[in-house]
Structure 1
Amino acid sequence: MTPNPSLVLNKVDDITFETYDAPTITDPHDVLVQVKKTGICGSDIHYYAHGKIGPFVLKSPMVLGHESSGTVVEVGSAVKDLKPGDNVAIEPGVPSRLSDEYKQGKYNLCPHMCFAATPSADGKNPPGTLCKYFKSPQDFLVKLPEQVTLEMGALVEPLSVGVHAARVGGIKFGDVVAVFGAGPVGILAAAVAKKFGASKVIIVDIFDNKLEMAKEMGVATHTFNSKTGGDYKKLIEELGQEPNVVLECTGAEPCIRMGVFCLAHGGKYIQVGNAPGDVTFPITEFGNKELTLFGTFRYGYGDYKTAVGILAQNYASNLPEIDFEKMITHRLKWEDAIKAYDLVRAGNGAVKCIISGPE
């Protein structure tokens, strides 16, 4: 068997390098990918620090990683659109092909979803992508065009979260958007809002360095520090008008409240971030303004392809509109992968960390 070096979370505070047998093609639609670049997600850190996220609880060792790109090394006999040597972004969640949600075109809501590095209800752990070889169905891989690097391919997963939120909320040309949270998802959600035609995008956070990064990247026309800048009235003053769309990417109750209060009458509130539990919600303000609330979960049909298309269009020019590379604050080799997790867990200015390999 071919060895498959992997990064494994055994339990809280315990990550080790392990070697398993590489997966093999068993279905004619299977594709084997050699993983090249993987981003560290906030959910990874939750499992590392707490062993759970909401209903997803770690009960046994789990290969980490779900934000990955790589190169095709082998394809099943029925695969026609991909070949060895192609670079791909890996969509990490595969639903049951028999579920009602899948048949309704909402496969991201499938209760039987097999999602990389996410414990399932039966206590089993679908393998993550932080390994040398990862097997995927062909229709959950998106080929990367020449101008989209493998490093950018690792950003497709969180970028797709922003795409899904924008599509669910119907963001359109001319919208004025407030994004709460300047972490990776917030920054990328702002980028999508801009690419979808928003005339103004204000990003709200409590860290000036993250807000400055958002401006330097070209995803924000305005920024607002909610810790030092004042209340929602000051936010509106900074923007010059009330936003008609809010993308809430933090799950923090103060941000949720500010999002509702700053919205224009008839506006749309889109919840992207996960809250740690129930929150107090300003329902009277919400009702009096006739706001619309949208919930979002991961991404669905077409979102990955749209995310790749955004990157391809952005880098088709020598002067890209958005400098996505700026949000990658740390790049580490495979042998330093455990250090990478400790670095992101500690904070200290890390926005997006990319691990290379294993080779």
Structure 2
Amino acid sequence: MKTRVVVTKRPNEVVLEECDIRPGDNEVLVKTYMSSICGTDKNYSEGKMPREVLVEQVAGNNEAHHSYPLKMGHEAAGEIVEVGKNVTGFKVGDKVMSFGWYNTMADYFVAPVVSNGYGVVKVPEGMSMEAASLGEPTACAIYAGMQSGVELGDTVVVVGVGFAGQVITQVVKRMGAAKVICVDIVDGKLELAKKMGADIVLNPDKDDVVAKVLEETNNQGADVVIEVAGNDTAIQLCSDVLKHGGIMGLYSWVLEPAKLFINRWHNDGFDIRTLALMHRIKLDRLWWIEKTLQNVANGLVQIDPLISHVFDLKDAVKAFDVACNDPSACKVMLKP
């Protein structure tokens, strides 16, 4: 079958190409409903790869990528239109979500059924296809909130309220945080965070964030801080507003060298934890995917309002420009 697929030919050159795909014996062919541009996609499109990178793939039409050209996409949902002869438990017509790099910015994509947390999983009943198209980042962000250590009555600071930060804000509020303080340099994202449940929003370009957090916590500092901005400035701010013995959750994938003053990490006994679902022990990843996304299906976490832009697949170049350069963009989607 022929499909169009978004390809980064080289840094800062995104194109739409046509290629042939077909499912292997252990794979399914999915007609894409919608695909999302992730922070990782933005980094790769701009040439920002970590020193060592392997986009995890399986045997078949999907290739592991260490360099360009790179077929894009890992966040998507769609409907199965063909199944390989060895596939069980999935059938034509099933609605599924992608968990893995399967070149999903396309009319169709091929993927295995889920194994060790990678592949496609079924969309829970009651979950919109828009939200399902963001299943992977949603599961990751909900997991981060659930594993952040938030307890009833805590003050939580979320630094960076793009898509993941907006989801984490909702989760920690649902888990009993008495006060959620969101920090970002984009006022539009702070306004959205207020709608998603934030109690206080602060812009470090305008507000003294450290002073305000201390004021709100009787000079103790926040119980939990979660870094979701992806830079050393955000990590440093988290370090500066956390209380003695508090929990620092690191969510972002930081690709650049970071310079930090970390003396308080030791002197104040910080509990520092990484919050990456897709890098968790493979044997329990699938369990967490199901657990987190059921919260969306049950209406406990709102995803659809976080979609800021939807572009036709043919306008992928424009979509990447918005995703990479428009600070107000929360989630940019591609729809065939």
User: Cα RMSD (Å) of the superposition?
Assistant: 2.3
Cα distance in structure 2, aligned partners of 1:141 and 1:172: 33
Question: Would you say 1:135 and 2:110 are equivalent positions?
Answer: yes
Question: Would you say 1:85 and 2:64 are equivalent positions?
Answer: no
Query: 2:178 aligned to 189, 199, 207, which one?
Result: 199
Contact kept, 8 Å, 1:11 with 1:51, in 2: the verdict is: no
Return closer, same or farther for 1:204/1:54 CA change in 2, 3 Å cut-off. farther
Alignment of 1:309-320 (within 5 A): 309-314=294-299
Cα distance in structure 1, aligned partners of 2:240 and 2:149: 20
CA displacement, residues 273-327 of structure 1 (integer Å, 9 cap, x when unaligned): 233433333332222221111124452413322332121011xxxxxx6543222
Contact kept, 8 Å, 2:25 with 2:86, in 1: the verdict is: no
Q: Tell me the secondary structure at the aligned position of residue 244 of structure 1.
A: strand
Query: 1:70 aligned to 68, 72, 78, which one?
Result: 78
Query: In the TM superposition, what is the alpha-carbon distance from 1:205 to its structure 2 partner?
Result: 0.8
Query: In the TM superposition, what is the alpha-carbon distance from 1:9 to its structure 2 partner?
Result: 1.1
Alignment of 1:25-174 (within 5 A): 25-27=24-26, 30-50=27-47, 52-56=49-53, 59-92=67-100, 116=101, 127-139=102-114, 140-174=119-153
Return closer, same or farther for 1:54/1:173 CA change in 2, 3 Å cut-off. farther
Q: Tell me the secondary structure at the aligned position of residue 52 of structure 1.
A: coil
Question: Would you say 1:213 and 2:192 are equivalent positions?
Answer: yes
Question: Would you say 1:351 and 2:326 are equivalent positions?
Answer: no
Contact kept, 8 Å, 1:252 with 1:275, in 2: the verdict is: yes
The TM-score normalised by the length of structure 1 is: 0.80
Question: Would you say 1:228 and 2:206 are equivalent positions?
Answer: yes
Contact kept, 8 Å, 1:163 with 1:303, in 2: the verdict is: no
Match of 1:303 in 2: 288
Contact kept, 8 Å, 1:269 with 1:291, in 2: the verdict is: yes
Query: In the TM superposition, what is the alpha-carbon distance from 1:145 to its structure 2 partner?
Result: 2.9
Q: Tell me the secondary structure at the aligned position of residue 252 of structure 2.
A: coil
Cα distance in structure 2, aligned partners of 1:144 and 1:12: 34
Cα distance in structure 1, aligned partners of 2:295 and 2:217: 26
Question: Would you say 1:10 and 2:9 are equivalent positions?
Answer: yes
Query: In the TM superposition, what is the alpha-carbon distance from 1:164 to its structure 2 partner?
Result: 3.4
Query: In the TM superposition, what is the alpha-carbon distance from 1:11 to its structure 2 partner?
Result: 0.8
Structure 2 residues without counterparts, runs of 5 or longer: 54-64
Cα distance in structure 1, aligned partners of 2:153 and 2:275: 22
Match of 2:312 in 1: 333
Return closer, same or farther for 1:197/1:142 CA change in 2, 3 Å cut-off. farther
Return closer, same or farther for 1:85/1:236 CA change in 2, 3 Å cut-off. farther
Contact kept, 8 Å, 2:25 with 2:87, in 1: the verdict is: no
Return closer, same or farther for 1:354/1:267 CA change in 2, 3 Å cut-off. same
Query: In the TM superposition, what is the alpha-carbon distance from 1:204 to its structure 2 partner?
Result: 0.7
CA displacement, residues 330-351 of structure 1 (integer Å, 9 cap, x when unaligned): 1111222221112222215211
Look up the equivalent residue of 1:304 and give its one-letter code: I
Q: Tell me the secondary structure at the aligned position of residue 46 of structure 2.
A: helix
Q: Tell me the secondary structure at the aligned position of residue 264 of structure 1.
A: strand
The size of the alignment, in residue pairs, is 314
Query: In the TM superposition, what is the alpha-carbon distance from 1:210 to its structure 2 partner?
Result: 0.9
Match of 1:97 in 2: none
Query: In the TM superposition, what is the alpha-carbon distance from 1:54 to its structure 2 partner?
Result: 4.2
Query: In the TM superposition, what is the alpha-carbon distance from 1:214 to its structure 2 partner?
Result: 1.0
Look up the equivalent residue of 1:42 and give its one-letter code: G
Cα distance in structure 2, aligned partners of 1:20 and 1:153: 25
Query: 2:237 aligned to 233, 258, 261, which one?
Result: 258
Cα distance in structure 2, aligned partners of 1:277 and 1:343: 22
Cα distance in structure 2, aligned partners of 1:269 and 1:37: 34
Look up the equivalent residue of 2:162 and give its one-letter code: G
Structure 1 residues without counterparts, runs of 5 or longer: 93-115, 117-126, 315-320
The TM-score normalised by the length of structure 2 is: 0.85
Cα distance in structure 1, aligned partners of 2:133 and 2:154: 28
